[in-house]
Structure 1
Amino acid sequence: MERVIAEYLVETPVDVARVAAMMAGEQSSGTFVRVAGETDEVRARSAAEVLSVEVLGEAGAPTLDSAFLQRAQACGPWRFARVRIAFPTGNIGRNLATLAATVSGNLYDIGEVTGLKLVALEIPASYRTRYALPRQGIAGTRASTGVQGRPIFGTIIKPNVGLRSAEIAALVDRLCAAGVDFIKDDEVCANPDWAPLAERVPAVMAVIRKWREATGRQVMMAFNISDEVDAMRRHADLVAAEGGSCVMASMNWVGLSGMETLRAHTPLAIHAHRNGFGAMSRHPRLGMGFQAYHTLYRLAGIDHMHVHGIGGKFVDSVEEVTEAARACLQPLCADGPDDRVMPAFSSGQWAGTLPVTLEAAQSPDLMFMCGGGILAHPDGPEAGIDSLRDAYAAAQEGLTLHEAAKTRPALAAAIGFFGGH
C-alpha cells in the first residue's frame, strides 16, 4: 500500500504507545471510540499504522498546558518520544491541503499531548508524481539569469516599503548597471498604495528590458504578488506580459492551496518566501520542522525556497541553515523526479558570510541575497556586488578573505565596514 510516513516528537504523561495509536486513529479511520461503520474492511484499507515509538527522555513538568489532563489530574513523568506513523495515500488522494491536515491537523490539540512537533515527511515517488514539479527550478533559474557555475548574487529592494515606483525603478537601474543577478521585493511590499503593482511592474521591467537589450543579460526580478488567489493570477499575468521571469509569494499567508493555484497558472519562477515560519519552528516541543514544512510546499511546485542565512540577523543556528539548504538541493524522493529547488540565503548576509554559506550548501547552486550587504557597502552598491564576486573568487582560489582583500579593494572595504557589525 502506498503510504506517507510522518515523524513526530511527542510529549505526554500517558503511555506513549497508547498516544501514538490515538494519533494514528484520529488522523485516519478512527475516533476516540470505535463506531458502527468502522469495519475491519474499512480499517484494512484506511487505518494509519504506528511504525515505531522511541522514548527519548522525561521531565517533571509539562511544556504546554492541557485542560484535559488537568481534569484527569494527570501527573508525571512527562515522556518525550519519537513516533513514526504511516498514512495511506488513498485516504488523501491528490489533495495537498488534506495531506497537511492528515499529518498535522488535530494532532496538536489531542488532550493527552503536552507537546507535539511534526519533524519529517517521507513521500513515496509514486505519490510525488501526482503533484506539481518546479517549472524553473535550478536549471531554469540559471538559464533565465545566464549565471552558470557560481551562486546567483542578489539583493532586496530597500527601504523595505515606502519607495514610489519611479524610485524603485531608479534603484533597479543602478543595480542592473552594477551587475546584480537577482532582485526581489521585500515581503512587506506587495501592492502598496504608493507603489502599486500595476504601476511598479511596468516601471521596473522597462529598466530590466533596457539592460537586457544593452548587455544581453536578463536580471531576474521577483515581484511580490502575495494576495488573494484571483489577484495573484492577475499580478502574475502582468509580470509575464512585461517580460518578467519571476514572482514571489509569502507561503504561510498565501497558503498551500494559493501556492498550488499560482503554480498551475503561471510558468514563471516562483520565489517562495517563508516569513512567519519561526512561529511554527522555533519551539522544540511545538509546531513543524523545516524538513516537513518544505516538503509540503515543494509539492506545490515552487522553484526557490528561503533558508535564512549563516551568521545573519535571525535566530537560526548554522546547523539549521545547513540542514535546510541541503534539503532543498536533494530530490524529495531518492527514486523520484528531479524536483530540487534553489535555496535562497538571506538575512544579514554580506561577502564575509559567503564562505561558510558555500561550505553549508556544498554546492554553488544557491541564491545569496544581501540587502544591506550590497546597498550599504561604503563604496556603493556596485562595490557591494564586486565584494561578493571577490569573496567567491577567494573561495575558489583557496584564499582566506583577508588574504584576498589585499588585492581586492571592494572586499577590503566590506570587511572593514561589515566586519564590525
Structure 2
Amino acid sequence: MDLIVAEYLLETPFPVEEVAAMMAGEQSSGTFVRVAGETDELRARAAAQVLSVEVLGQVDSPSLTSAYVERKGKAGPFTRARVRIAFPPGNIGRNLPTLAATVSGNLYDIGEITGLKLLSVELPADYRARYPMPAQGIAGTRATLGVTDRPLFGTIIKPNVGMTSEDIAALVDRLCAAGVDFIKDDEVCANPDVAPLVTRVPAVMKVLRKWQDKGRNVMMAFNITDETDAMRRHADLVAAEGGTCVMASLNWCGLSGMESLRAATPLAIHGHRNGFGAMSRHPLLGIGFPAYQSLYRLAGVDHMHVHGIGGKFVDHADEVTEAARACLAPLTDGADDRVMPAFSSGQWAGTMPSAYEAAQGPDFMFMCGGGILAHPDGPAQGIASLREAWEALSAGEDLEQAAQSRPALAAAFRFFGAR
C-alpha cells in the first residue's frame, strides 16, 4: 500500500532509533504502553513505520528545554538525525487537518525530544487525488492576464492601511496606467472600517473594468481574510463584480478555512504566508516550507508567497530558491498542480536575475512595492524598469551593462542599487 512519508530533523539525548519508534507510535496506533484492543492485526494495518534514521552528529547543549529530560537527568550529548516515517493513508482519510495533526501534532511535545522540525511530506498519487487541484494555477492565471512568455509584474497597495476605498481605486487606476499585471492588498488590509470590502471591491472593480474595456487585463487580489462564512461572502462579492482573484492569510485562516474557500469559489486564491517565520525560523523547531506548501496546496491555492532573494526579510537565497522550486514541482508524478510562486519583499529590477534563476524560468510573480511605486521617475517607469530587466535577462545580458542603454533600468540602479 502507498504510504504518506514525513521527514523530520530530530534532536534527542536518548537513542535516536527508540525515539523515532516512539514518534511513529505516538502518531498512529501506539502509546507508551500497549493498551486493550491494540491487537497485532490492528498494529499491522494502522501502525506507522520508521523507514530510516540518519545520524547527523551530536551537540553538547539542547536546542529546546524539556522538563522530562531534566527529570531524567539526561545531560547530553544530544544527537541530531534525519528520520523518515511512513503513515497509512487509511488512518487519515480525506481530512487535511488530521493529516497535519498526524505528521506534526503531539510530536513537538514528546518529552524525549529537544528539537524537531518537519521537513517534507510526500504523498501517494491516489491520496493527492482526493484533494482539489488549483482552480487557476499557473496556466489559468496567465490566461486571465494574457501574459504567456514572461514573469507577472505585480505590486502591493501602499500605504498598507488608512486609505479610503476611493483612494485605493485611484491608486489602482494609476497602477493600471503604469502597466502592472497584478495588484494585491496588503496582508493587514482586509476589511477595515475606512475601506470595507463592500465599498472597496466595487470601487476598484469599476476601475479594472474600465481598463479591461481598453484591452488591458489586470488581476487584483482582494484580501478577504476573515472567518470562513465571511470569506465565502467576500469571494462572492468579488466574483459578482467581475473580479478574478482573492487573497487570504493562510496561517490565520487555517487549512480548513482555505479548503472551505476553495470549495466555494472558482477564483484564483493568492496564498499569503505571513506569520510563517514563527513556524520556520528556528532550525530545530517547526515546519519547513516544503512540508508547509504541500499541506496548503492540498487546500487548493493557486499562488504562494516565497519571499524574495536580497530582500528585506530573513531568508537566505537557498531558502527562497527551495520554496520557489517546491511550488513549481508537482506534488506527485503526473499531477497538474503546480502553483505560481510570488517573490516579494524588497524586490526591484536589480533583484530579478536571482528570482529568474531560482524559478528556473519565467513562471513566477515578481512583486515590487517600492520597486515600482518609489521609482524616482514614477510608477510607469518602475514597471518599465522591470520590463527592461526582463528583456536583458532574456537576451542573456548582464543587467548593469544593459542599464547603460535602458533609461528606466538605469534610474532604478541609481536609486535602489545605492541602498
Pair in the same fold by TM > 0.5: yes
- Structure 1 residue 75, shift from structure 2 partner: 2.1
- Structure 1 residue 24, shift from structure 2 partner: 0.3
Distance 1:300 1:350 in 2: 31
Q: Read off the aligned partner of 2:222 and give its amino acid letter.
A: F
- The within-5 A match list for 1:199-238 is 199-214=199-214, 216-238=215-237
CA RMSD of aligned residues (A): 0.7
- The within-5 A match list for 1:137-148 is 137-148=137-148
SS at match of 1:108: helix
Residue equivalent to 1:50: 50
Residue equivalent to 1:86: 86
Residue equivalent to 1:283: 282
Residue equivalent to 2:117: 117
**Cα offsets for 1:215-263 (capped at 9, x unmatched):** x221000000000000000000000000000000000000000000000
Q: Read off the aligned partner of 1:360 and give its amino acid letter.
A: A
**Cα offsets for 1:358-396 (capped at 9, x unmatched):** 011111011000000000001100000000000000111
Residue equivalent to 1:192: 192
Distance 1:339 1:271 in 2: 15
Residue equivalent to 1:241: 240
Residue equivalent to 1:176: 176
Q: Read off the aligned partner of 2:358 and give its amino acid letter.
A: A
Q: State yes or no: 1:353 paired with 2:351.
A: yes
Distance 1:397 1:87 in 2: 48
**Cα offsets for 1:328-369 (capped at 9, x unmatched):** 1110012x3210000000000000000111011111011000
Q: Which runs of 5+ in 1 are unaligned?
A: none
Distance 1:315 1:248 in 2: 23
What percentage of residue pairs aligned between the two structures are identical? 75
- Structure 1 residue 405, shift from structure 2 partner: 1.5
Distance 2:163 2:41 in 1: 62
Q: Read off the aligned partner of 1:301 and give its amino acid letter.
A: G
- The within-5 A match list for 1:301-340 is 301-334=300-333, 336-340=334-338
**Cα offsets for 1:307-344 (capped at 9, x unmatched):** 0001000011110111111111110012x321000000
- Structure 1 residue 51, shift from structure 2 partner: 0.4
**Cα offsets for 1:281-311 (capped at 9, x unmatched):** 1111100111000000000010001000010
Aligned counterpart in structure 2 of residue 376 of structure 1, from 363, 374, 377: 374
- Structure 1 residue 404, shift from structure 2 partner: 1.7
- Structure 1 residue 403, shift from structure 2 partner: 2.0
- Structure 1 residue 420, shift from structure 2 partner: 1.0
Q: State yes or no: 1:25 paired with 2:25.
A: yes
Q: Read off the aligned partner of 1:376 and give its amino acid letter.
A: A
Distance 2:406 2:50 in 1: 58
Q: Read off the aligned partner of 1:12 and give its amino acid letter.
A: T
Residue equivalent to 2:364: 366
Distance 1:154 1:301 in 2: 22
Q: Read off the aligned partner of 1:315 and give its amino acid letter.
A: V
SS at match of 1:138: helix
Distance 2:258 2:400 in 1: 43
Residue equivalent to 2:69: 69
SS at match of 2:405: coil
Distance 1:67 1:95 in 2: 33
Residue equivalent to 1:100: 100
SS at match of 1:406: helix
SS at match of 2:135: coil
SS at match of 2:257: helix
Residue equivalent to 2:126: 126
So what's the TM-score if we normalise by structure 2?
Answer: 0.99
SS at match of 1:272: strand
Distance 2:342 2:189 in 1: 18
- The within-5 A match list for 1:4-43 is 4-43=4-43
Distance 1:116 1:145 in 2: 42
SS at match of 1:222: strand
Distance 2:54 2:154 in 1: 44
What number of residue pairs does the alignment pair up?
419
- Structure 1 residue 70, shift from structure 2 partner: 1.0
SS at match of 2:56: strand
After the TM superposition, list the runs of 4 or more consecutive aligned residues in structure 1 that deviate by more than 6 angstroms.
none
Distance 1:311 1:54 in 2: 33
SS at match of 2:8: strand
Distance 2:120 2:354 in 1: 26
Distance 1:331 1:172 in 2: 34
Distance 1:356 1:88 in 2: 40
Q: State yes or no: 1:166 paired with 2:166.
A: yes
Distance 1:254 1:420 in 2: 39
- Structure 1 residue 154, shift from structure 2 partner: 0.4
Distance 1:59 1:391 in 2: 46
Residue equivalent to 2:152: 152
Aligned counterpart in structure 2 of residue 386 of structure 1, from 384, 387, 397: 384
SS at match of 1:315: coil
- Structure 1 residue 69, shift from structure 2 partner: 1.1
Q: Read off the aligned partner of 2:380 and give its amino acid letter.
A: E
Aligned counterpart in structure 1 of residue 394 of structure 2, from 373, 393, 396: 396
Distance 1:218 1:233 in 2: 24
Distance 2:10 2:210 in 1: 56
